[in-house]
């Protein structure tokens, strides 16, 4: 069994590519996180979001990657390499073979299927390469677009939680829907 993200090469389906986040993504991350919808639906995005927030977040990625606890990946346009968004395995538990998933997409690229493609690529990597057995994700109640992404990538709705606290956002709580995808779920729409 594997208990490391390495070796890692970019994952691609020819439309989207997933690659490790890099400090050079700071400007694109900062720009994407100016969108009020990003702040509304993503618990880990603070407002106002400044470039120093992006730099601090990106500088912390290699240690998390090396600890094999969080695998933060850039979602990019496969042909051009343009940064579109982020998808991550979070809280990887190698003993139970479980991880959480988080994702966000910049406004210009939403609604085109790219987030679903990225999630499908991440699921395939997690199950086929990392030998994880189950993935979970949460969507803020009302974020219908993110729920569609989860469903299209084979995740099943398993329940709701209310007044969830997120340390990075002490100013509010979140009501969320919980989703699960087991390795045995082979059908992806």
**Residue 77 belongs to domain spanning:** 11-134
Instruction: Write down the pLDDT at residue 188.
Output: 44
**Which among 73, 48, 64 has a CA at the least distance from the CA of 126?**
73
Domain for residue 48, yes or no? yes
Cα dist. 6→24, 128, 148 in Å?
21, 14, 31
- The number of helices, as runs of H, and strands, as runs of E, in the chain is 5, 8
Instruction: Write down the pLDDT at residue 177.
Output: 92
Two tokens at 141?
């109640």
Asked if 55 contacts 23 with a C-beta cutoff of 8 angstroms, the reply is: yes
Instruction: Write down the pLDDT at residue 39.
Output: 80
pLDDT tens figures, 164-187: 776 666 777 778 899 999 997 554
pLDDT at 129 over 70: yes
Domain for residue 25, yes or no? yes
pLDDT at 33 over 80: yes
Domain for residue 140, yes or no? no
Instruction: Write down the pLDDT at residue 42.
Output: 82
Q: Measured in whole angstroms, how far is the alpha carbon of residue 11 from the centre of its chain?
A: 14
**Average of per-residue pLDDT across 95-119:** 95
Instruction: Write down the pLDDT at residue 169.
Output: 67
Domain for residue 152, yes or no? no
Query: In total, how many domains does the chain have?
Result: 1
Domain for residue 23, yes or no? yes
115 DSSP β-pair partners = none
Instruction: Write down the pLDDT at residue 121.
Output: 97
Supply the pTM of this predicted model: 0.91
pLDDT at 189 over 70: no
Q: What is the CATH number of the domain that holds 43?
A: 3.40.630.30
User: Among the listed ranges 34-43, 53-62, 81-90, 92-101, which one has the minimum average pLDDT value?
Assistant: 34-43
**Average of per-residue pLDDT across 103-113:** 93
């Amino acid at each position: 069994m594997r208990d490391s993200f390495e070796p890692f090469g970019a994952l691609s389906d020819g439309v989207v590519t997933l690659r490790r986040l890099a400090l050079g993504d700071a400007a694109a991350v900062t720009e994407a996180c100016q969108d009020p919808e990003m702040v509304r639906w993503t618990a880990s995005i603070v407002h106002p979001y400044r470039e120093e927030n992006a730099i601090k977040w990106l500088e912390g990625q290699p240690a998390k990657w090396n600890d094999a606890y969080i695998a933060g990946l850039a979602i990019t346009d496969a042909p051009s390499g343009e940064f579109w968004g982020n998808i991550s395995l979070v809280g990887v538990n190698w003993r139970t073979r479980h991880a959480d998933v988080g994702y966000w997409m910049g406004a210009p690229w939403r609604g085109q299927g790219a987030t679903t493609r990225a999630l499908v690529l991440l699921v395939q990597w997690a199950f086929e390469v990392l030998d994880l057995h189950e993935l979970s994700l949460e969507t803020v109640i009302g974020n219908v677009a993110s729920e569609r992404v989860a469903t299209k990538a084979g995740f099943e709705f398993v329940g709701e939680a209310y007044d969830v606290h997120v340390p990075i956002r002490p100013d509010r709580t979140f009501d969320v829907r919980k989703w699960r995808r087991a390795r045995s779920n082979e059908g992806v729409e």
